[in-house]
Structure 1
């Protein structure tokens, strides 16, 4: 592996000269290989293996790990984990409690060299959430944000080749209250507008009229999209073809180049962000 890595570096230098350098990491999984590539930037070649992993972990801070930003570091500290070595030595139960999810188990495997980030798991739902930068309380104020979250969710749903019957809405309010409701429809849905109508009805059902801190929409009860059930007037096929055409244009030219006019109202409230690791179908 070292010979291959060195040849890659030599070939780049031969073709591009000294203007471009590359750091290469060698490790049992992608996460550790990325970590190794950053040890001696901008022109490093390092390997992480069973013989040196603890020594390397001992030189790093938690936030040196890709995917561990300040919020996750605080979560880990609440579980008594302050260093990368603490992180490595923690058992699965402790990490699950710290992350409040199965993500703790994934970190347990990732830190030990198991390939977890390239594994496809059975998908049960799709969802998107957003923490509002300023307080909004009225349904018509929240509607453009909900529309954009729904569009992002549905793009991922369709790209993965799924349709869904269930829609869920979660709201966390500024005063600490939270509210959650789901609805299971009679028929499977595919087009963003159908999901948004259902999600907006759920939003209007909330008994709280307070300022919202976090808004999240999800879909569940998934099924692989093999064929579209035809209806008498061919509307389902038209919706299917339109959604696919819009997705293809947005995938080529940029997210939300085409979309509902209501998305224009969300620009000042919803900024596009890219998350690390957790979203495999990144857009």
Structure 2
């Protein structure tokens, strides 16, 4: 395996992205502590917060009541996923004018490969990126940038100089910068893994680096641990491409819409959004799962399907799942969160019909109708036609949630 003798990767992480985009959009929020919440009047948790809020001790995924106790001036701003999506696209375009973007890792993280000239002047590359963002988009949006021999080390390097910093870890200086860090600063080492490492006598970065590749593989119970070992030791290692395993959506329900009736309506919208994504990506699904979290606990149920992707088949399956799942609940059940997922995917060119189920003509009819509805909605850039009623909840954004691994498309907000 190749071990680079120079820096080859840049990793960029936007600082408090959602909050900084809100400050860019609304000058009245600049310089003030703000916390992004899931919906108007939300009292659940802080999705993201500005650097001013972080200076008071506010953290992402902190409960709102706790955040308000430690920062009484905290301004709560409901999330606007479509705004963040558009800001992301513009930022990618602007950064691409300075250096080609190799991989978009999430809504607020990306990586670039360095050519020979860029390796010679990483500080100049970082300054050019920051200057482009500042003058072409706005000074409210800042980023931390790390340089290293591989992408993983570059990500760690950038994280050491937040916010708005630059960190250059050249191979000849390693592993000294790593030795200063706690284990939980390393991507891939969460609380559970830290406990597992401690049981193996590994409690410091020095101890982690002193292990062998197969030892970390055994601790992780898969090849991820071995890849981490090589990444931390500066080897040019790339994670293999991942295959799509499922399509799904989930939503936290606002306090005034947590009845079973409200949850059923939202589950229907979430399913249709997921089904549209399945069709756009050219897949069929063979399983559907419905899950919900309520005050007394949680529950889920699944159904196996023939290979389908049309709304009629999936909505019929959802209705059956809903009856099965809610039969265990009472009418007074308060639903906090609900989600739908479609799994066991098959690409359209590998579909096999079930010879025991003679419904091909029926499926083709519904698929043609679904394609017609999709084309009509694309033409108008919004949902103008659907199978059954279409009643988005207050606040919208059903299906437009931004996760750590997925950036929604414009169609997700229709």
Instruction: Give the TM-score of the pair, scaled to structure 1.
Output: 0.65
**In the superposition, relative to structure 1, how do residues 60 and 275 fare at CA in structure 2: closer, same or farther (>3 Å)?**
farther
Aligned to 1:258: 383
The answer to whether 1:136 aligns with 2:254 is no
The answer to whether 1:42 aligns with 2:164 is yes
**In the superposition, relative to structure 1, how do residues 271 and 80 fare at CA in structure 2: closer, same or farther (>3 Å)?**
farther
Structure 1 residue 199, shift from structure 2 partner:
1.5
**In the superposition, relative to structure 1, how do residues 247 and 57 fare at CA in structure 2: closer, same or farther (>3 Å)?**
farther
**In the superposition, relative to structure 1, how do residues 46 and 184 fare at CA in structure 2: closer, same or farther (>3 Å)?**
same
Q: For 1:269 and 1:14, how far apart are their aligned partners in 2?
A: 33
Aligned to 2:328: 208
Runs of 5+ consecutive residues of structure 2 not aligned to the other structure = 1-6, 8-118, 232-236, 354-359, 410-414
Q: For 2:133 and 2:291, how far apart are their aligned partners in 1?
A: 51
State the superposition RMSD in angstroms: 4.6
For 1:174-193, list aligned pairs within 5 A: 174-176=295-297, 178-185=299-306, 188-192=307-311
Aligned to 1:168: 289
CA contact (8 A) 1:146 1:196 kept: no
**In the superposition, relative to structure 1, how do residues 131 and 235 fare at CA in structure 2: closer, same or farther (>3 Å)?**
closer
Q: For 1:152 and 1:180, how far apart are their aligned partners in 2?
A: 19
Aligned to 2:402: 274
The answer to whether 1:246 aligns with 2:374 is no
Deviations 1:174-193 (A, max 9, x none): 323534232323xx322345
CA contact (8 A) 1:28 1:115 kept: no
Deviates more, 1:39-48 or 1:15-24: 15-24
Deviations 1:84-107 (A, max 9, x none): 8388778455546xxxxx8xx647
Aligned to 1:109: 227
User: Match of 1:142, SS?
Assistant: helix
Equivalenced residues, count: 258
Q: For 2:196 and 2:322, how far apart are their aligned partners in 1?
A: 35
Aligned to 2:344: 221
CA contact (8 A) 1:144 1:262 kept: no
Instruction: Give the TM-score of the pair, scaled to structure 2.
Output: 0.48
Structure 1 residue 27, shift from structure 2 partner:
3.1
User: Match of 1:157, SS?
Assistant: helix
CA contact (8 A) 1:164 1:222 kept: yes
The answer to whether 1:33 aligns with 2:154 is yes
Runs of 5+ consecutive residues of structure 1 not aligned to the other structure = 97-101, 251-256
Aligned to 1:5: 122
